[in-house]
Structure formats: C-alpha cells, structure tokens
Structure 1
Amino acid sequence: MGLPVKDNQVEATPIHLFAESAYLNYAMYVIMDRALPFIGDGLKPVHRRILYAMSELGLKVTAKFKKSARTVGDVLGKFHPHGDTACYEAMVLMAQSFSYRYPLIEGQGNWGSVDDPKSFAAMRYTEARLSAYAESLLAEVGMGTVAWGPNFDGTLEEPLALPARLPNLLLNGSSGIAVGMATDIPPHNLNEVVQACIALLDDPDADLATLCRHIQGPDYPTGAEIITPREDIRAIYAGGRGSIRLRATWVIENGDVVVNALPYQASPAKIIEQIAALMNAKKLPLVADVRDESDSEEPVRLVITPRSNRVDREELMLHLFAVTDLERTCKVNLNMIGLDRKPRVKGLVEILNEWLAYRRETVRRRLSHRLERVQDRLHVLAGLMVAFLNLDEVIRIIRTEDEPKPVLMRRFDLTDRQAEAILQLRLRHLAKLEERKLKEEQTALAAEEKQIQAILDSPARLRNLIKKELTADARQYGDARRTAVVEREEARAIAQTQLAPVEPVTVILSEQGWVRLAKTHEVAAETLSYKAGDGFLAVARGRSNQPAVFLDSTGRSYMSAVNDFPSARSNGTPLTGLFKTPPQAHFVAVLMGSAQQPMLIAGDGGYGFVTVLESLHTRNQKGKAFLTLPPGSLPLPPLEIPESETPLHVAAVTLQGRLLIFPLADLPELPKGKGNKLIHIPPRDLKEGADRLLFLQLMGEGDKLVVHAGKQFFALTGGNLQQFMGQRGKRGKQLPRGFQRVSALTVE
C-alpha cells in the first residue's frame, strides 16, 4: 500500500493540454536537435559530435586510421546518448564519396557502394580518420570562436557549432525529416560558392542574378547532367523550394550505349533490373542486351547493346530516360536553422548573407581571442624584461625573502601575473641570448597586436581577410564541377505500337461488329468460322504498327491499335466495347495502310470525295464525324486509290441499273464532309428507296469493266465503255436489259 499523497503534492492538468505540450516539446527537439542542419556549419548535432569526437581523439588527416567502433563509443559515451547503429550510419554517410560532395571522413574497409549505400561493414571492421576538408570545420575550434555547452550529463563541454571556414551547408547539402517539416539541400561546387561569397562581400546588395552568374546550380557527387532550365533553377534559389531533374550521361562505343554517370542516389543494379524487366516483358525490343561492367577504375559503366545498327540511339535513350531511373528528380527544400535559432526556408541570397555574417563574427572572435593572448604575452614579456634589466636584485630578493612575490611586485611595480612569470623562470633562461629572444618576441607580438587591432577596427580589412581565407581554402579544397547544367530534349516514352516488332497483319470485321487479328496476309477471312447469326463483312491488310480505322453507318470514323486484338482463331471482340458508338449504328468498313494513302469515300446518296486515310484518324472513343450523310443514307465501302501513270476513272452504278463513268480528277480532295455529286439520283427515289448508289469501282486506261448480275456478267471495253462515260453528277445510262440488277462491279 502506497503512502498517502496530499492534495497540494498533485498537479492536475487536462490530458489534452498535457499531450499538446509533450508533443510540442518532442517536435521542437526533433527539429532543433536531430533533423535540421545549422546554417553556420551545415551540420546536424550527430554529425557535429562525430567530427568533434574524432578531433579530440587526434584522428586528423595525417594520423593513423582508428577503428570506427572506437569513435562511435566516444561519441555515444561523451556527447550523443543514442543508438550506435544510427550514429555509425551518420558516420558512414560522411565518408561516402558518392553521398557527400566533399567527404568529411576518410575510411578504410567496406563503406558501402553506389548500388547499396547501406552495404557497409560493421563498425568493428572499418577504420576511419578525418579528411583534409574536415579541417575547414575544426581548425579554429580552440581559438575562442564558438560557444560551448554542457554535454548530456554535464561532465564535459561540447561546441554548439563548429567554426566553418566555408559554407558547408551548401557544399555538402543535407536531408532530413522532422515533425511537420523536412529539408533537402543539394550539394554545390566549392569554387562556385566561394566566388558567390566574394561577390557578396564586394557588393552586399548583390541580387540573385549576380550570384547565379557564379553558381550555375547544384553539383552532385555522382556527376550526370542537370536538365532543369536555368530559369527554373533561379526560381528555386529565389523561393527555396522546387525540384532538380537529373539525367545520366552516355557515349557510344562500338555501337553500344555506355552509361558513365548516373543521377544522384540512383542505383546501377536497380537500373539494370528495370531494363531487364522491360526486356522480359517484351516492352523493349530495341535492346538486345544490358550488362554492368563497373569496376574500380570506372565506378559506373552500364553497357546497353541495341538490337541492330538501325536503332536510333538518341530515341532509345530518350525512351529509357522516361521509363527508368536513368533520369530522376531530386527535391530541393532549403529549410535550415538560422542564426536566430529558428527553422525556416531561405533563398540563396539570404543563406549566403547569413553565413557571411556567421563567418564575420567567427573571425572577429578568433582575432579578439588571439589579441587577448598576444596582449597577455606582451604583459608577461614586459615583466620579464624588468627582471633581466635588474637580474641581480631579482635573484637577491628570491634568495633572501620568504615570500618573494609581494616583494617583487612592490619593488618593480609588477602585477601578480608578471611576478609569477618571473618566479617560474628556469636558470638556463637567464642567459644573455634569452634576453635577445625576448626582445625579438616582444617586437613581433607588438606588430601582431597592431595588425589585429587594425583589422578589428576596420570592416574593410576584416572583409579582405575573409576573402583571402576563402580564396586560400578554395585553392586547397576546390575542384571542377561534376554535374553539368545543359539543355536537353525532353524524355519521352516510345509508343508500344512502335516498340512492338513490325509484321504483316490482317484485321477481320464481322457483320455484327466483332474484330480479330491474323498475323499474316495469307488468310481467307471469308472461310473463317463466325458466331451463329454472324458472318464476314470486311477485311483490311496492313502492318502491326499501323492503326485500324473503322467506319460506321452514321459516317463516323474510329481508330484503334491492332496489337491487342484477339487472334483470328477466336470469335474476336466487339467494337462496341472499344468505342462509344451512336444508338442503332453498325460498322460498315475497316481500313489500314499508310497515313497518306488516298481514299475514295462516298455514301449511297450519290455524293463523295477524295481524302487521305489520315483524315479518318482520331483518338476520341466517340469517333469523328467524317462523312456527312442525308437521312436514311449509308456509307459505301471506301476504295483505296492506287498509284497510276495514267488518269483513273470512277465507275458508279445505281440500284436501277444506271452506269456513269467519269474522271477521278473531277472529284475534290477534302478532309471531311459531304463531298460532291458523283451520279444524279432523284431525291424522291432516294427518299422512297427506289434508287441509290450501289457500287463504285476505279479503273485505268485499257482496263476492262465487268458487270455482274447474279450468275451472268458481261465486259465493257473500248467503244462500249465510251457510251457510259459522261460528266460527273449526271444521271448515267441504263445498262442492257437483264443486267440492270447489278450484284458486283469488277475490273480486269
């Protein structure tokens, strides 16, 4: 049984207020102490603590490598009481040359690969030390430049920020997810950023356009190309948010496409897998083989072998950019903790101005700290010089007095600091040579004091010092840009109809509007089996990369790719499932061929025109109003107009047995509409169904026109043809008795 609790020992808080307060505290902790980098050094607390711990262990670039487990142990035990796995992963990230533009750690052992950045060995196997570039963050730590705070248990002190000599936030970038916010800062080129900083020091009012003349855009460690337009990049730098489009670079070697640089954080193994999956699914017939030939000399070398020399490499790569990770987007969100210790998204101008203010204050604190040291030493030297000038008296006082310090201070008007320094002198330092060294040191320190004071008193000199140090660091750590900013053609996937192998096909249409496909031209469509009550209507022969065009009884045209049509061995699929046709409409024809294939289009009302097959193309499921028909009229099967060296003629025959032959050239070429009159049919006869245009046939000079009437037929040649020739739009001449019920017109 617990002890009784008095009422005044209990604090009552509504649970919603307690939860709100607790979650807010947690959110602020994640934002400030875990996920977002500080603008001054560009680091999160865990990265800062790792670097400082390694510095304290003496793991500079000139030191021997030490086991990573030792570093992680120091970090966890002294500064960062969290999981060792997370700490080690943060350490690994700073050592990966494909993750950090300017790595802060040098590693020995397995530190992961581009294929799998988390495939690194355990920390008991790997060894590490600081990189040369890390010196730009740590070199001034002990120079009075940074604020210090207690570690988690109050037994040690740690720097709250590192005195970065370079704007590391932009150079290496950062990424993280906090509560309610995130950050994605891309890496940049050191030389370009330094030039922008110098431009801003020379002209504090420099605008974004001026800075963008120096900073072209992000510079990712894996190279590749930035294809985002420069105007968009400038907009990102203005607002602090956006996305950068990255594309792999490639060359042609012996007919193969060799990819030699990948977008940031793209995995070669995953890209190989994506291409292989497309090949297995037969969605990439342009590629015969893909392989990874990467090695230590060429970290990225993906070889793509096209199917043949006829494959357009540019088109192939544009397709692969559209469907694989050879092209990808990297987010940009310039969210960080500013000098005011508040998280906010900032633009490029504000970031550089704020970092320069941080650097200016850091240099001022470094100089002030050094000035204090110089002045203290000068003060001590002044006391030592007094001792050397009165050496016998000083020795006498030290030998005879029980408490020599106060006596020295009274006798020579010394401070406690000076008297203590005299008493600490060793006998060998009393030589005449030492006196000369003290005078030389005093002269040099006096000159240094004067120089430092002049810099501190002059903003221009301070600015020049910062510029000089930035330039020196750029010479030491800078390198050429790896990620070029270029203009490229937009990636586009090749249509599946173009990717599929081109082969001869035959599209078969039944009377009830069912369609099927035979992958050959050698098929007797009329002899195929059809559903009960259905039968053969029309056939069209073409290539598998050509669409099929259908014409319905209302004069509307429809278009579809043919690769997904069922096999000719089946009953097919109804076109009503593919298109949205008008009520009571039925299909009357199917067409295939070149887009520029000339066609003769007509309705049984006696009107028609010449067009090209492309005019019937449409992507609308509801079709395209193509042929205008009077009420009750139907389209006739369109006729392909063949190439001919001699003029062609049109033979038109009506239900009443009237035949008219006229030049094809008399018909206009139209994209759509009703057309012109081919043969005259009295409106009353057409309305009552007494007459209509029955057949059309094309014929050249010297051709024989055969008129079929059931089982009978006769041929028209020479003078017999002439009697039926006339002007377009006339009534035509009656065929002989017994042949007025025409069942077909053919040409021989």
Structure 2
Amino acid sequence: MSHYDLNLEGVERLPLKTFTEKAYLDYSMYVILDRALPHVGDGLKPVQRRIIYAMSELGLSAVSKHKKSARTVGDVLGKFHPHGDSACYEAMVLLAQPFSSRYPFVDGQGNWGSPDDPKSFAAMRYTEARLSPYAQLLLSELGQGTADWVPNFDGTLEEPRVLPARLPNVLLNGGTGIAVGMATDIPPHNLREVAAACIHLLAHPEASVEDLCRHVQGPDFPTEAEIITPRRELVALYRTGNGSLRMRARYERENGDIIITALPHQVSGAKVLEQIAAQMNAKKLPMVEDLRDESDHEHPTRLVITPRSNRVDIPGLMAHLFATTDLERSYRVNLNVIGLDGRPQVKNLVQLLTEWLSFRTETVRRRLQWRLDKVEKRLHILAGLLIAYLNIDEVIRIIREHDEPKPVLMERFGLTDAQAEAILELKLRHLAKLEEMKIRGEQDELSRERDQLRAILGSGELLRNLVRDEIAADAEKFGDDRRSPIVERAAAQALDESALIPSEPLTVVLSRMGWVRAAKGHEVDAAGLSYKSGDGFLSASPGRSNQQAVFIDSTGRTYALAAHTLPSARGQGEPLSGRLSPPDGARFVGVMMGAPDDLYLLATDHGYGFICTLEDMISRNRGGKVVLTVPEGANVLPPVRIRDLERQRLAAATSDGYLLVTVLSDLPRMARGKGNKIISIPPARLKAREEWMVEPALVAEGEVLNVVAGKKFKAVKGPELEEYLGERGRRGRKLPRGFQKVDALNAVIP
C-alpha cells in the first residue's frame, strides 16, 4: 500500500477545479474590496486610509513638525498594512505631490518628485512629512463615534473601516485602480463646484444629472491645461459614469516664439520635447527652427518653440503637434467605487453624490448622538455632584464613618453608582461654595446643548440643514478657483506629410532600365547624366520635393513614391523594382509630377486615350493600381502633361504617316479605363503590327509642330497645321513624301 492511499483524518479533499475557483474568487474579491477601489464614503483605498490614520496617530498634524517619511511608513506597515514598503511610500508620495493630487493630504519636505519625472522622489529615509490642513476634513470627527472600527491584520489594534469625510473626497481627488475584472478611473474635481452640487442635491433630492452639471462643470485637474471635451460629452459621461475626456496644452505667442505654459495632467515636458525633437530629426517639422525648455521655479512649465519664419501657420503647426505628441491627451473615466452596501458599482453623478450625502448624514447623526450621550452622562454626574454640595457635611460624615461609603451614599441620597463614584473622586479643593455655581452654570449650558441636539436628531430637515451649513463652511475654508478651463476646441489634425517636407524644386529622372533619381532644380540636363552601361535616359518630370512622383508601367499600372525619399542624382539612382512590385515582365514607361489636380494624357499606341488627374493615379501600394487598360498587343505611350486644356490642341500621328489635329477637350476625363479613340488605324494593320500611333504632342497657339521621320524634321505651323484639323477618332491626313514613316511628334516655340 503506497503512502498516497493513506486516508489522513482531518484532511479535507476537494476537486482541484473547486479549490482553484474558490481561491481565485477570494483573491479577486480581496483585490476589489481591500486594495484597488476607493470607498464612496472617504474616497480612499485602504493603503491611503492607513497612511493618513497612522500619521494622525503619530501626531503629525498640519501644525506639528515634519517627521521622517520612513517613520510613517514603518508605522503603517507594522500596525496596519502588511505589504511592501516601496509601494506604501509611493502611495504616500502621490498623496503629497501637488501635481498628482488636486487637494494633497500630505505636506512633504524634501524631494517629492517633479512634474517632469513624478518618480524622481528621494528615498523615504531622506524626506519628511506631516498632514496637510486639508486632511482635517477626514480626521476631525474621527474620535466622535463616527467611524466603525475593525481589527488590524494581527488583531492587536483597531483601525477605522472608513474615515468620516466632511466632503466627497471620492470626486475631489479622484483616483485610479486596476482590480481583477474591473478598474476605476475617477478624475479630480473642484471643491467649490462639488460642494455646490451637494447643497443643491440636499435641497432637491430628485435633481437630475443635467441639474447637477450646472454646478459641476467638469473635472478639474491640478494643471492649467484646457479640457477640450464638448459639454454634451461631459454631461453624458456623468450620466453613465463611463467615458473619456481630452486635455490640451495651453500656449501663447511671445516675440514670434510659441510658449507652452501648461501641459495636460501627468504629461512630462521633457517627453514632449523629445517627441518634437524626434520629428525635427526625421525632417518632419521643417517649420520649426529651435526648441528649448525654460522652465524654472517661477515658471514651472515654459517650453519654447521657435518657428523658422513669421510666415509659418502657427495654429496649423500647433494642431499638428497636438495630434502627434502628448500636448493633447485622452483620459478614461470610469466612476467605479465601493458603495455603502460594500459592493463595487459604476455610478453616475447623482448616484455618487446621493450615496455620499447619505453617508455624510449618517456620520453627522452618529456624531450628534455621541455628543448627546456624553452630555446626558455629564448632566447625570452633575446632578449627583449638586446633591453632594447641598448636603456636603453629611457626605463628609458618611465618608469618615464608613469603610464602604459608596452604597451608603447611594441609599441615603438616591444616587446611581456613577454619581456616587464621581462624589468619592472629588478633590478637597472643589468643595468651595464657588463650585456649586460652576456646576449650575455647566448644567444650564449642557441642558441647552442637549435640547438642541435632541431637536436636530428628531428632525430630518434640521439635520439636513446642519449638513448643508457644514459643507458650505468647509467649501469656504478649503475651496479654490477652477484650474483646468473647459474650452470647446475642434479636433486636432496632423499635417499631411507633404506639408511637413520643405518645398524645393527638383527633377525626377527615370532611365530605360527603370532606375530613378532626383536632381535639385528644374534646369537639369537629364539626358546628359551618367547612366549604367547599357542604360540611358527615358523620362524626366520637374516638380517639388513635397510632391509625389507617379510612375506608369507597360501594363497601365501607376505607382507613387514621395519625391523627397528618392536618391540624389549625384549617383546613378536605384532601381524602382526595389521599392515597387510591378508585374513580371513589366517595364516603366514614364514619370509624372505636379499638383493633385494636374492633368495628363494617357494613351496606348492602338490610338486610344483619355485625360486623367494626377491624384487619380496616386497609389500607396507597392503593387500600384491599374489606371490605363491596355488592349492586347498594344504598348503604353509616355504620358503627356496638359498645361492648358482649352488652348492646347492634340496632334496624333501614326507610324505610317497619317496626322490628325483635334480639340483636346473632346477627350473624356476618366479615373481609369481604355479611353476613347484618338486616331483611327485599320484593325488588321494594328494586329499585324504594321501601323501604330506614335507619342502624341500638345500644340498651343503660336507653337510649331515638329514631325520627326528618321533624321528628317518637318515643321507644321499656321495654315498648314489647320489643314490637318479633324474630328477625334478620324483617320487623319497623309503627310507629304519623305514623311511617310513618322517616328515622333513634338511641339516647340519658334
């Protein structure tokens, strides 16, 4: 029998599935309820609550001397929070950083980090801390019967389950947390606005989210950057408890420079400068000349961007930077808190404030009841003391004559045990006649307070009025102006890549073997450049460095490459096949450049063609796109740029010496296709490859058409050119002897 078969008594056997399910559920509930989510009452997570309570127990009030942070962290870990010291100290740092917390609870001394690098704080052995005045709002009522006390982790001490917050800190400081299966993201808010909403809700319990949003304009971060989310989206966010909002940096102009004066919440100025510098290094910000950080103690945020000239479009540049850097940031909002019922729930603004007001009203009721109990207990004692003063001689006699005077006193004067004990503990100096007057004065004062407390506790309206007055007083004492202005702005748009590239003249040159390069300027002798052995000039197109170079191949496909990325003409360039993926056997025919709405004539040597905009030919794909449909057996002719659609005429000639001049605008404008017939060629001759259309030419008024036949040239101009005019798609007229075999046409200025 193996030892695995032993049936040990007291050992519980469980299926692994059941055990793991229970273990994971227990862990997830612990993380949700006891670590990651804030409580609606005080808006704190357990670690934050324990830090603040431990500091109050150490006597670190706002008027005390600062003490080493390590002392506080040691107390928190040893007494209440058995977790890591670095995590605890980091939570304490976040409570102290004025750029992380809207209303900091901890007043730190030493290096507590900076907005550029919030985690650059010194170790806890160097820094010192005490509570801030704002922490009074959590602690001032703690010893007045307002909190439920629970044992600490080892059962030797007690800690408050929830602190008796006087204001809804859950919204004021906000908080983030990731639990198991849920998270919370509550942005901070302005104290005065939230207090006004609470007061409105006390007077109008049926108020809607829209009513409360008249007071709560939106979140209020510890930075002066703008919240640019539209008002309707903010209201929707408060209505559902879910959503997002955007913040945008603020800038101003100063002597031509752009000065960024406020960054979005938790955005590092150093990182923003890195992001802008990276774009400058990649030559994607030609309009920016210089970048520097002039932040100091007087100006915590002062980032300076110097434009290249005063002609730079500043709003356009800043819109691009907002879209491409952390100068504009989005924040998730998820109002997920642990409610009074101990369950996590995403609440809208009305639910959140209603529940907090319920918590606050109960806290005030408990405080008043605790005070009433103390007042009544004291009045009871005072009544006994008064009896003793009125019968002082007999009281002294009983005490002198009896070993156990308490029961005798109780029987003789009808006193309770507590009253008799108080009489026996009287000091001799208090037996003066003056004491009787003091007792009667205290009795009168306490009686008035008792009646007042009973009236408030017995009236819901008086209790609500007290809560309202206390909220208003605290808002007056601790409130401040809104820091994050809410401004509706249009969405930031990144500039088109072409707008970010310097616009310089260049000429793109294409060789017969499909090698490409870009030469600076337009006065370039493209045919005179050096080419590889067996290669030579094919086509060139002038344009600008911020434009696209569009190539067309022998299959009618077009491709586009950014001109500024092409290699310099100082070398022999690089093959287009390295960047593009044309079909097998295809060769490049021509190159085009210009504005997106520039027109080009595309045609095949079967005599068909159409007019196309350059924009319609641009393709981002390596494989390009089919623009020109090529009939079987036909060749694609080099594209011809149209400079003036109305003034230029289209001259088309066949290899067999037929010339036709037509109106250029008769050709259709198309995005893709075969096109219409330009000049008629007998199909049998096309099929046998006995005749075809040569590259057409565009002739403007006053220009001369040159017909090239071998080594001979014929200039056709004026009235002679008119003789070849005809309707598009006709056969045309035969050229004179010697020009029966046409090689090329070109238009020249005489």
Mapping of 1:657-668 within 5 angstroms? 657-664=657-664, 667=667
Query: Residues 568-587 of structure 1: CA distance to partner in whole angstroms, max 9, x if unpaired?
Result: 45554444555555565543
- Report if aligned partners of 2:275, 2:325 keep a CA contact under 8 Å in 1: yes
3-state SS of 2:252 partner: strand
The change in CA–CA distance for 1:562 and 1:386 in structure 2 (over 3 A counts) is same
Determine the C-alpha separation between the residues in 2 that align with 1:107 and 1:371. Answer: 38
- Report if aligned partners of 2:544, 2:563 keep a CA contact under 8 Å in 1: no
Partner of 1:439: 440
Unaligned runs of 5+ in 2: 1-5
Q: Which moved more, 1:220-229 or 1:523-532?
A: 523-532
Determine the C-alpha separation between the residues in 2 that align with 1:581 and 1:70. Answer: 72
Mapping of 1:272-287 within 5 angstroms? 272-287=273-288
Determine the C-alpha separation between the residues in 2 that align with 1:474 and 1:243. Answer: 27
Q: Which moved more, 1:635-644 or 1:212-221?
A: 635-644
Partner of 2:705: 705
Kindly provide the amino acid, as one letter, of the partner of residue 296 in structure 1.
H
1:214 lines up with 2:215 in the alignment: yes
The change in CA–CA distance for 1:722 and 1:410 in structure 2 (over 3 A counts) is closer
Determine the C-alpha separation between the residues in 1 that align with 2:182 and 2:722. Answer: 88
Determine the C-alpha separation between the residues in 1 that align with 2:716 and 2:336. Answer: 88
1:480 lines up with 2:481 in the alignment: yes
Determine the C-alpha separation between the residues in 1 that align with 2:591 and 2:95. Answer: 65
Kindly provide the amino acid, as one letter, of the partner of residue 63 in structure 1.
S
1:654 lines up with 2:654 in the alignment: yes
Determine the C-alpha separation between the residues in 1 that align with 2:82 and 2:253. Answer: 52
TM-superposed CA distance for 1:445, in Å, is 2.0
Kindly provide the amino acid, as one letter, of the partner of residue 371 in structure 1.
L
- Report if aligned partners of 2:659, 2:734 keep a CA contact under 8 Å in 1: yes
Determine the C-alpha separation between the residues in 1 that align with 2:725 and 2:24. Answer: 95
After TM superposition, the score normalised by the length of structure 1 is 0.90
1:742 lines up with 2:728 in the alignment: no
Determine the C-alpha separation between the residues in 1 that align with 2:674 and 2:18. Answer: 77
Q: Which moved more, 1:96-105 or 1:114-123?
A: 114-123
TM-superposed CA distance for 1:41, in Å, is 1.3
Kindly provide the amino acid, as one letter, of the partner of residue 653 in structure 1.
A
- Report if aligned partners of 1:555, 1:634 keep a CA contact under 8 Å in 2: no
Determine the C-alpha separation between the residues in 2 that align with 1:110 and 1:347. Answer: 38
- Report if aligned partners of 1:601, 1:611 keep a CA contact under 8 Å in 2: yes
TM-superposed CA distance for 1:406, in Å, is 2.8
- Report if aligned partners of 2:269, 2:301 keep a CA contact under 8 Å in 1: yes
Query: Residues 657-696 of structure 1: CA distance to partner in whole angstroms, max 9, x if unpaired?
Result: 1223344455565555555554443444444444333242
Q: Which moved more, 1:464-473 or 1:310-319?
A: 310-319
Kindly provide the amino acid, as one letter, of the partner of residue 476 in structure 1.
K
Query: Residues 238-259 of structure 1: CA distance to partner in whole angstroms, max 9, x if unpaired?
Result: 4444433322222121111111
Kindly provide the amino acid, as one letter, of the partner of residue 544 in structure 2.
R
Partner of 2:414: 413
Mapping of 1:583-732 within 5 angstroms? 585-619=586-620, 623-627=624-628, 630-642=631-643, 647-664=647-664, 667=667, 673=673, 677-732=677-732
Determine the C-alpha separation between the residues in 1 that align with 2:83 and 2:647. Answer: 91
After TM superposition, the score normalised by the length of structure 2 is 0.90
TM-superposed CA distance for 1:134, in Å, is 0.2
TM-superposed CA distance for 1:136, in Å, is 0.3
TM-superposed CA distance for 1:107, in Å, is 1.5
Partner of 2:64: 63
Partner of 2:540: 539
Partner of 2:552: 551
Partner of 1:500: 501
CA RMSD of aligned residues (A): 3.1
3-state SS of 1:37 partner: coil
Partner of 2:250: 249
Partner of 1:319: 320
TM-superposed CA distance for 1:20, in Å, is 5.3
Determine the C-alpha separation between the residues in 1 that align with 2:613 and 2:11. Answer: 91
Kindly provide the amino acid, as one letter, of the partner of residue 67 in structure 1.
K
Determine the C-alpha separation between the residues in 2 that align with 1:55 and 1:632. Answer: 93
Determine the C-alpha separation between the residues in 2 that align with 1:695 and 1:50. Answer: 85
- Report if aligned partners of 1:112, 1:120 keep a CA contact under 8 Å in 2: yes
Q: Which moved more, 1:267-276 or 1:143-152?
A: 267-276
1:370 lines up with 2:371 in the alignment: yes
3-state SS of 1:713 partner: strand
Determine the C-alpha separation between the residues in 2 that align with 1:348 and 1:671. Answer: 54
TM-superposed CA distance for 1:455, in Å, is 1.8
The change in CA–CA distance for 1:21 and 1:690 in structure 2 (over 3 A counts) is closer
Kindly provide the amino acid, as one letter, of the partner of residue 614 in structure 1.
E
3-state SS of 1:8 partner: coil
Query: Residues 391-415 of structure 1: CA distance to partner in whole angstroms, max 9, x if unpaired?
Result: 4544554455544433332233222
Determine the C-alpha separation between the residues in 1 that align with 2:274 and 2:678. Answer: 61
Partner of 2:41: 40
Percentage identity across paired residues of the two chains: 61
TM-superposed CA distance for 1:66, in Å, is 2.5
Determine the C-alpha separation between the residues in 1 that align with 2:123 and 2:573. Answer: 61
Partner of 2:3: none
Q: Which moved more, 1:379-388 or 1:300-309?
A: 379-388
Query: Residues 131-151 of structure 1: CA distance to partner in whole angstroms, max 9, x if unpaired?
Result: 111000000000000111233
The change in CA–CA distance for 1:346 and 1:742 in structure 2 (over 3 A counts) is same
3-state SS of 1:509 partner: strand
Determine the C-alpha separation between the residues in 1 that align with 2:582 and 2:7. Answer: 84
The change in CA–CA distance for 1:14 and 1:675 in structure 2 (over 3 A counts) is closer
TM-superposed CA distance for 1:325, in Å, is 2.1
- Report if aligned partners of 1:102, 1:172 keep a CA contact under 8 Å in 2: yes
Determine the C-alpha separation between the residues in 1 that align with 2:619 and 2:151. Answer: 74
Query: Residues 128-181 of structure 1: CA distance to partner in whole angstroms, max 9, x if unpaired?
Result: 221111000000000000111233343332222211111112211223334444
Q: Which moved more, 1:708-717 or 1:9-18?
A: 9-18
3-state SS of 2:176 partner: strand
Determine the C-alpha separation between the residues in 2 that align with 1:153 and 1:678. Answer: 96
TM-superposed CA distance for 1:73, in Å, is 3.2
Determine the C-alpha separation between the residues in 2 that align with 1:438 and 1:511. Answer: 116
The change in CA–CA distance for 1:439 and 1:573 in structure 2 (over 3 A counts) is same
Query: Residues 437-480 of structure 1: CA distance to partner in whole angstroms, max 9, x if unpaired?
Result: 33333223222222222222222222222111111111111112
Determine the C-alpha separation between the residues in 1 that align with 2:33 and 2:705. Answer: 92
Kindly provide the amino acid, as one letter, of the partner of residue 249 in structure 1.
R
Mapping of 1:197-208 within 5 angstroms? 197-208=198-209
Partner of 1:187: 188
- Report if aligned partners of 1:290, 1:304 keep a CA contact under 8 Å in 2: yes
3-state SS of 1:93 partner: helix
Q: Which moved more, 1:164-173 or 1:309-318?
A: 309-318
- Report if aligned partners of 2:655, 2:743 keep a CA contact under 8 Å in 1: no
Determine the C-alpha separation between the residues in 1 that align with 2:506 and 2:660. Answer: 36
The change in CA–CA distance for 1:607 and 1:34 in structure 2 (over 3 A counts) is closer
Kindly provide the amino acid, as one letter, of the partner of residue 546 in structure 1.
Q
Determine the C-alpha separation between the residues in 2 that align with 1:488 and 1:81. Answer: 48
Partner of 1:122: 123
The change in CA–CA distance for 1:665 and 1:564 in structure 2 (over 3 A counts) is closer
1:310 lines up with 2:311 in the alignment: yes
Determine the C-alpha separation between the residues in 1 that align with 2:27 and 2:640. Answer: 78
Query: Residues 490-543 of structure 1: CA distance to partner in whole angstroms, max 9, x if unpaired?
Result: 233334433232222222223343433333434433244545654432111111
3-state SS of 2:62 partner: coil
1:85 lines up with 2:86 in the alignment: yes
TM-superposed CA distance for 1:486, in Å, is 2.8
Q: Which moved more, 1:97-106 or 1:509-518?
A: 509-518
Query: Residues 551-570 of structure 1: CA distance to partner in whole angstroms, max 9, x if unpaired?
Result: 33444433332233334455
- Report if aligned partners of 1:497, 1:563 keep a CA contact under 8 Å in 2: no
Determine the C-alpha separation between the residues in 2 that align with 1:377 and 1:167. Answer: 34
Between Structure 1 and Structure 2, how many residues are aligned?
743
Partner of 2:527: 526
